[in-house]
Amino acid sequence: MRTTVTLDPDVERLLRNAMRERGISFKQALNQAARDGLVRARQPRAKRFVQKTYAMGAIEGVNLDKALALADALEDEERIRKMRLGK
């Protein structure tokens, strides 16, 4: 099918770049861009993933939401204990 299309300057630049990069004609670049855009528009969008989070509470004043900080503190205490025992 033959038709006349008026392209915005930025769209023309993108098509010309595609032509150069892929070594294809203007017609091929335009058809591929239109095809890709139309196919992508018909595809359903993926539902956004949302991670559920839960408060972990506290034990003896220690906030378990900061589990890595707690693990570091416990590891430090264990190293100090071993150093005192000479291990």
Question: For residue range 8-21, what is the model confidence (pLDDT) as tens digits?
Answer: 999 999 999 999 99
Q: Where are the domains of the chain?
A: 9-42
pTM above 0.75, yes or no: no
- pLDDT number for residue 30: 95
**Which CA distances in Å does 54 have to 37, 51, 57, 64, 65?**
40, 10, 9, 11, 9
Sequence-ordered list of residues with C-beta below 8 angstroms from that of 67, at least 6 positions apart, any chain:
56
Question: For residue range 29-73, what is the model confidence (pLDDT) as tens digits?
Answer: 999 999 999 998 888 888 899 999 887 666 776 667 777 888 898
